[in-house]
Structures are given as structure tokens and as C-alpha cells.
Amino acid sequence: MVPLLALLLITILGRQSFAASPTCNAQRPNIVFIFTDDQDLHLNSLDYMKSLQDLIVDNGTTFTKHFATVSNCCPSRASLLRGQHGHNTNITHVRNPGGNYQKWRLMGEDNNYLPIWLKNAGYRTEYIGKFLNGYSKALYKYSPKGWDHMDALVDPWVYDFNRPVFSANGDTPILFQGYHQTDVLRAKTIARLKYLTEKQDKPFYLTLGTVAPHVRTGGNLPIAQVRHQQDFLDATAPRTKNFNPSQAYTDQKPSWLKEFKALNQSQLDRIDEHYLVFSADNGYHMGQHRAGAGKTLPYITDTNVPFIVRGPDVPRGIISTLPSKHLDLAPTFLEIACIDESEYPAFLDGRSLLSNWHNPRNQTDPKHHDIINIEFWGGGESELPGQSGHTNNSYKAIRVIGTDSSWLYTKWCTGDTELYDTLNDPWELNNLAHESNDPDQETKRLMQRLNGILLVTKSCQQDNCRNPWTVLQNHCKAEDPNCPDGDIFSNLEAAMDIKYDAFFQSLPEFNFKECLLVQVADNEEPFLPASSKKLGGDFREHVDRYVDPTTNSTKEVPYNSQQQGTKEQRDVQIEEMMKKARRLTSEELGT
């Protein structure tokens, strides 16, 4: 129920002529963006996807260090669509009060986001599949803004693979009887691609958002198409080094995670069944750190997602370790669309990745470290029956990604601290900040630097997100006229110089005041610089308490009587599917 935006594939098809800004190539490529829901990078699910391997991986560049900065569906998608951190969109969860489609609308974030920017630049914008959580039978008339064509799955049926309900452009929702949701998504996408490439001249941006391999409502296992149910019967969830680890490791974990009991045989069987059912499209964490199944945690399985780009001038068959994050995609698409930088929205926190895509082998200076801010507010969840979620799951984390050193540092709302040396401990087992590991002076000095950077990134806006070291440098100068010039703070290694011990020691240690379900500025002091306390508030309406509209259906929408997705249905086109489709009645909608 709490989906993590996961597999991302961007394939840039042909090029089409179109008026463009003078600084840019007039041939503007089409952009096709495919993302699945809750797919892992580290549990090998991509190995089972042959078409993906043949069509995209072998013919594109795979980026192995791409991150979702909030490991949860709605915040992650909002962040991608606005090019901003979750702390600036304030869409911080999948449901009220943290956020969902209704909060997104009420804050007016839908008046200024990616499809609108691309449309203004002359692109045709289309979207098929799952949009933001809470686009529901009560809200379907408020079709997401900015799309020339929007065909969205409607709640509460989004996770019912055997009961596909879509609303096209805000029209009465349609039930596609007799078909599996994934087949309907495929047929719809093919029909739109035909239209876009044959029947109109604009360059286009098309998103396909699948629900697979997400679990069904209530943590029930997803339903694969009938034709795939016998595939991969022998597959089991990989026993990674941090899979169901011993008590000594669990004792080092923070907040609710340290309470996990070792997974017993029936839970392990369930995890393997879950993996098996997923076969072709797989999940997120499964048994790592004893957490049964799900996301919402800061660890590598939950935040580092598959990301592959295929297109003009993107090398084929390459693996790149250049770091990036979802909120960098909006500026990247703006650059592809030849929009002049002076016209970019002021609030973007990300940076364009286009030069990385064109030169994925170009490792920058090995001393250079990329800082990835990871954050979460409110409830963490488990999708393993018998293992419940927990409200104390707010945290602020940074990943420092470098070729010579690499770290994950996390401050939890419970006051717990975690530090992992992710170069030497990639499965994040030895918590160097934990008292049982008796942190030495060097570790403490390192944590003071990481605290300094976290103070900036946890609430950064715009340039401060791109250059957090500069904020520290300016702060140092403001506090101390003798603070040295130069690029002393340009990377972690330079900042480790003992000359700066006093400065880093003088910084307050970041701690949440308490565990809350939402982002409240006063709970997350201090702010560096002080102006970042606005948390994106200049670019959205303020919404505090709000109500999710509901309707009371008096009649149930029928499930397909049999499981769908047979071999024969593999190539059925949308026109054929439409013959059995019908509009939902007002009794079914409750309107």
C-alpha cells in the first residue's frame, strides 16, 4: 500500500523537428518514461526481465547509483514531478495528513510542474497508469492538470490486478472486464504510441506507470498474469548478507527496527512465495535487517532504485556509477526539451543529468563526493503479515557517495544515530555510531562533518541543495573572520582536516524534537541557512488539516471471475478490450 517509485527507464525514441531555443539543437527527442512500483535493484529482479534486458539494458546505460530521496510512493512521485525535495513539496506520505493527491491539489503544486513546463515548450504530454495515491472515485473528475491525455488508474481499485478501473481525462471510470491490469496498460500504451508517432507532429513526453510488482491492498501478494504464474517456480528471495541477520546486528539498529525478532520459517516461506509470485517484476526489501517486506527505510534496498536510459548519444551496454536522484529528472527533461535555463522554475532543487547520460564513463575527480539527502516522516510499514509497522519512522539521512569513501549517516526522531561505511560494509550491518562499537575519535570527527552537511541538506532549497559545502563555507566565514578561503569545504576529505575541528564542533547537532506524522518546521530546528525554514512554502499554498473526500458505494465492482492474463491475451489490442469494457454505475461509484 505504500509504494516506492522504482524501476525507471527513459527511452528517447526518434527525433522530430520543432521550434527550439537558439542555444539548443532544433531536433527535440521524444521522451518515454516507464516506471514500475516497488521494484528492487539489489534483489536481482531485473535479471528475470528478458525484454527489458534486450531492448533497454543492452541498448542503453544503466546507472547503479540512482536514488529515490523519500522511500515511499507519493512523496517520491511528487518530488520527481516538481524537481524538489520532499521537505519542499511537503508531500511526505501516501495518505492524510502527510499527503496524497488531495493535498497536492490543495497546495496548488499541480499548477506548476513538469507536464505544464513541457507543454508550454511545445511538447505533447501524456500519462498512463498509476498517478499519485488517492486519485480516487471521489476525485476522478479532477483529472491531473497539464496532460494532453491522462488515463489514470482509480482508487480503491489501483492494487486490484484483476479489476482494472481507469478514468481517461476525468471521464466516468471504465472497468476493463476480462483482462489483467498489466495487459490493459500495455494495450493502452501501444495505442497511444501509435497515435503519437503517426497521427501528430509535436515532440512528446509519455509516462507509463505500472502497479506491478506492488502488493495488493492489505499486504496480499500481487497476482501475476496467468501466463506467467508458472515461470520461475524455483526462484527464492536472495539471502543477502543482511538477510535475517543475527541478534548482534539487530541490536545496533535504531527505533522500531531493533525490536524485530528473527524471521521464523513460515515468514521465510512467505517471503520466498512473495518473491516467486513477483518473478518477472520484483519488490524492495525482503528479510533484510529482519524487516519482512516493504520500503520506507533509509537502507540501500529501499532507496537505490533501478535506472536505465536508452536514447540518442547515450552509450549502449554501459554501467555507470555516477550518482543521481529522482528530483534531477525534471531539470534533465527541461534540458532535453531545449527550454532555456532562464525559464526554469525558480524552485528546482535538482540538476540536469544530461551530460552524465552522454558521458556516463566520465568519473569526476575521485576525491569528489556526491551527497544524497534521504528523508522520511511518519509511519514505516511492513507488508509481511504478522509484522506490524510503526509510527516512529521519521529520519533524516545523507549518503556520501565517493570512489574512495562512502557513508550512510542517519538521525532518527527517536534520537538514534546510524553510521555505515558503505564502501566496506555495503549491506549496512555494522552501525559505527552505536555504543557497542565504541566510536573512536576519528569516527566522532567524521560524524561532526556529516552532521554539518546534514544540517544543510535536510532542509536545503535550490542552489543550496546542489552546493551544500558552499553553505558551510559561508557560515564559517560569517562566524569567524579567520575562516580560510578556498575550496576547503568542497569535499569531505578536505573538511576532515583538523584545522576545522573547532568549526564543526561548534555546529549544533541535528535532532528532531519528537516523532511526528508530518513535517513541522519547529520540530526540525536548526535551519542552515535560517531562510531554509520556509521549506518551499513560497512556492505552494499552506495546507494543514484537510479532508479526503469520500463516496459511499452501494454496489461492489465485480472482480474478474477468473484470473486473467492468458497467453491468448498477450497481444490483444485496446479496441478489442473496449468491447467488454463498461462505465461504472453511480451505485458503484457512490455518486
Ligand X SMILES: *[C@@H]1O[C@H](CO)[C@@H](O)[C@H](O)[C@H]1NC(C)=O
Residue ranges in contact with ligand X by CB under 6 A: 55, 58-59, 90, 97, 264-267, 355, 359, 362, 364, 386, 391-392, 414, 515, 518-521, 535, 537, 542-544, 550-552
Helix (H, G, I), strand (E, B) or coil at 143: coil
Helix (H, G, I), strand (E, B) or coil at 110: helix
Smallest distance from ligand X to CB 316, Å: 6
Residues in contact with 213: Cβ distance below 8 Å, sequence separation at least 6, in sequence order: 36, 37, 38, 39, 45, 222, 278, 280, 281, 282, 283
Q: Which is nearer to ligand X, 164 or 378 (CB)?
A: 378
* C-alpha separations of 382 from 109, 299, 555, 589 in Å: 30, 15, 31, 30
Which residue type does 340 have? D
Smallest distance from ligand X to CB 201, Å: 24
Cell triple for 390: 510503526
Cell triple for 477: 566565514
Q: Which residue among 73, 74, 338, 476 is the active-site one?
A: 73
Report whether 74 contacts 90 (CB < 8 A). no
Report whether 350 contacts 88 (CB < 8 A). no
Smallest distance from ligand X to CB 54, Å: 7
Instruction: Count the residues in the chain.
Output: 591
Instruction: Name the one residue in this structure whose C-alpha cell is 510488482.
Output: 213
Which residue type does 125 have? T
Q: 465 phi and psi, to 5 degrees?
A: -75, -35
Q: Which is nearer to ligand X, 324 or 414 (CB)?
A: 414
Instruction: Name the one residue in this structure whose C-alpha cell is 550491518.
Output: 429
Of 49, 74, 83, 166, nearest in space to 346 by CA:
83
Q: Which is nearer to ligand X, 157 or 500 (CB)?
A: 157
Report whether 116 contacts 145 (CB < 8 A). yes
Strand runs labelled E in 402-505: 406-412, 417-421
Does 413 qualify as catalytic in the annotation? no
Smallest distance from ligand X to CB 75, Å: 11
Smallest distance from ligand X to CB 230, Å: 27
Q: Which is nearer to ligand X, 264 or 573 (CB)?
A: 264
Q: Which is nearer to ligand X, 90 or 303 (CB)?
A: 90
Smallest distance from ligand X to CB 265, Å: 5
Q: Which is nearer to ligand X, 53 or 443 (CB)?
A: 53
Smallest distance from ligand X to CB 96, Å: 8
Residues in contact with 479: Cβ distance below 8 Å, sequence separation at least 6, in sequence order: 503, 506
| β-bridge partners, 320 | 63
What is d(CA 3, CA 100) in angstroms, rounded to the nearest whole number?
Answer: 12
Smallest distance from ligand X to CB 178, Å: 31
Q: Count Cβ atoms below 10 Å from residue 319 Cβ, excluding itself.
A: 12
Of 93, 419, 121, 387, nearest in space to 259 by CA:
387
Q: Which is nearer to ligand X, 496 or 520 (CB)?
A: 520
Q: How many CA atoms lie within 13 A of 133 on its CB side?
A: 25
Q: Which is nearer to ligand X, 247 or 362 (CB)?
A: 362
Strand runs labelled E in 49-138: 61-63, 66-67, 124-129
The DSSP element (H or E) to which 479 belongs, if any, is helix 468-479
**Closest residue by beta carbon to ligand X:** 386
Q: How many CA atoms lie within 13 A of 325 on its CB side?
A: 29
Smallest distance from ligand X to CB 404, Å: 16
Q: Which is nearer to ligand X, 470 or 551 (CB)?
A: 551
- List the end-to-end C-alpha distance of the chain, in Å, as a whole number: 25
Report whether 150 contacts 168 (CB < 8 A). yes
- Give catalytic residue positions: 73
